[in-house]
Amino acid sequence: MDNIKIVDGTLREGEQTPGVIFTTDEKLQIARELDLTGIELLDVGMPAVSAEEREAISAIAAEGLNASVGVSVRIRHEEIDQAAGCGADEIFLICPVSHLHIKSRLGIDENSLKRLTEDMIGYARDKKMAVNLVAEDGSRADISFLIDMLCQAHEMGAQCAFICDTVGIMEPFGMKTLIARIKEAVPQNMTLGVHCHNDFGLATANTLAAMEAGAVCPSVTVNGLGERAGNAPLHEVAVAIEKIFQRNHGIDMQRLYGLSRLVEHCSGIFITPHTPIVGLNAFRHESGIHVDGILKNSETYTGLDPSDVNRSPVFVLGKHTGTQTIRHLLQHRGYDADEEDLRKILNLVKERKTEEGKDEIKRMAGKIGAFYEQCLTFPLESFWKIVKEVLDKDG
C-alpha cells in the first residue's frame, strides 16, 4: 500500500485566512515545528505576494529542514523565477481546470491552457525544481479534460497532482467516485493528492474519501486555517488516518496539540472549545452518566485515548454533574462522605454554577467582536484615510 505523505499549507493558504498575518519569525517557528511534527512537504508561501514574502520563504529554505520546502505559483514564468530565487525545492503550480475558471479568470480556452501548462512545467523542471500540479476547481471540471491535463503533466515530469475542491462543494461519496475514476485513468505511477475546502463542513470527510480511492497526499492546514471556512485540519486528518484507517503517515501525534496552540497564538484565530482533538472540551466530561461510565471503564465514552495526542481527561463540575464525580474528587483528597453529604455538595455545586448568570459571557462576546473588528480586518475608515492621503497628495 502506498505511503501517506501529508502536505501542510499553513504558511501559505493558512495565512490567506482573512486578517491573518505571520511575521517572518513566526513563520520560521511554525515551519520548524511542522518539520519536527513529521510533515514531509510544506507549502510555505507565494513568492509573488511581496518582497517580504520572498524574504520569509528564503529564510525557511535556508533552515535546512528535513521537510521539502515548496511554494505556490501561478502559470507565469516570472513567478517560477521568483520561486527558484527563494531557494524553493518544489513548486505547486496552480492551474485552473474548470471551464468557469479557464474562461472567466484566464480568458483563454482549454487547448491554450494545456500548451501554457506544458511550457510552465518544462520551465520549472529546467530550474531543477520538482513540480506539483494543483488542479484548481478540479471538483467542477470536465473529468475528461481534467484527466488529459493530469496525464500531460505527468508526461512532462510533474511528480504529483492535487485535485482541488476549491469551493468545498463535494461530498464524500462523490469525492471517492471522482478520485477513483481519475486513479483508473492516469498512469499507474502517478501520485495523486487532494486539497479540500470546508465550506460545507466536509473538508476532512472529503479528504478521507479521496484517500480511500487512492489519493496519498492529503493537503491540510494547522487548525483548518484557510480561505473562507478553511481547509482540512491537520489534527483531524492525521488522527483519522492512524486510528480509523490504521495507516502510517509519519506524524508525531504527541506534537499536534502544541503545534495547534502555537498556530492559534500566531494567527489570532482561536480554537473553539468543542474543536475535535485540540479543543478545550475534547476530553472534558461534565455529564454524570458519562463520568460514571468512564470511571468504570474509560472506553465507554472515549473513542480516542487522550494520551495518544498528548492530552488528559478532565472531569468538570456543572449543572449536569452527578454524585460519582463528587465522590471521585473527594476520594482523591482523602475525604469520606455518605450519600446525604454527597447530595448536599452536589446541590450546592449546581446552585452556585446556575447563580453565575450570563453577564461574563455577554462581556466576553463583546470583547471577541471588538477583537475581530480590530485585528481580523482592515477598517474601511482607515482605508479611506489612505485614499485621501494619496489622492490629495497626487492632486
One domain for residues 174 and 252 = yes
Is the same domain home to 153 and 263? yes
Give me the average pLDDT of each 10-residue run along the chain (395 residues).
88 97 98 98 98 98 98 98 98 98 96 97 98 98 98 97 98 98 96 98 98 98 98 98 95 98 97 97 96 94 96 95 95 94 95 90 94 90 94 75
**Residues 183 and 290 placed together within one structural domain of the fold:** no
User: Which grid coordinates are listed for 199?
Assistant: 465550506
- Say if CB 211 and CB 241 are below 8 A apart: yes
Task: Say if residues 221 and 264 touch (Cβ distance below 8 Å).
Answer: no
What digits encode the pLDDT tens for the residues 231-242?
999 999 999 999
| Domain-embedded: residue 17 | yes
Burial label for 34, CB within 10 Å (0-12, 13-18, 19+), is buried
HSE-up (13 A, CA, CB side) for residue 190: 26
Same domain, 242 and 390: no
Contact indicator for 67, 34 with CB cutoff of 8 Å:
yes
Measured in degrees and rounded to the nearest 5, phi and psi for residue 194 equal -145, 145
Collect all residues with Cβ–Cβ distance below 8 Å to 100 and sequence separation of at least 6: 137, 140
Q: How many helices (H) and strands (E) does the chain have?
A: 15, 10
Q: What is the DSSP string of 263-276?
A: HHHHH--PPPTT-T
Residue 270 has φ and ψ, to the nearest 5°, of: -85, 140
Which among 105, 115, 111, 158 is positioned nearest to 134, based on CA atoms?
A: 158
Which of 241, 267, 293 is where one domain is finished?
267
Q: Residue 121 corresponds to which cell in the numbers above? A: 512545467
Residues 194 and 54 in one domain: yes
For residues 214 and 179, the answer to whether their CB atoms sit within 8 Å is yes
Number of domains present in the structure of the chain:
3
State whether 370 and 313 are in the same domain.
no
Q: Indicate the residue among 233, 267, 301 that finishes a domain.
A: 267
Domain that residue 63 falls in? 7-267
Helix (H) or strand (E) holding 96: strand 90-96
Between the alpha carbon of residue 295 and those of residues 43, 285, 292, 303, 329, the distances in Å are: 44, 11, 5, 15, 12
Nearest CA to 137 out of 96, 176, 94, 170 is that of 96
* Nearest CA-CA partner of 21 in 394, 378, 380: 378
Q: Round to whole Å and give the CA distance between 394 and 391.
A: 5
Q: Are residues 240 and 297 in the same domain?
A: no
Length of the chain: 395
Q: Are residues 161 and 74 in the same domain?
A: yes
Query: What is the structure's pLDDT at 1?
Result: 42
What pLDDT does residue 393 have? 74
Pair 216, 142 in one domain: yes
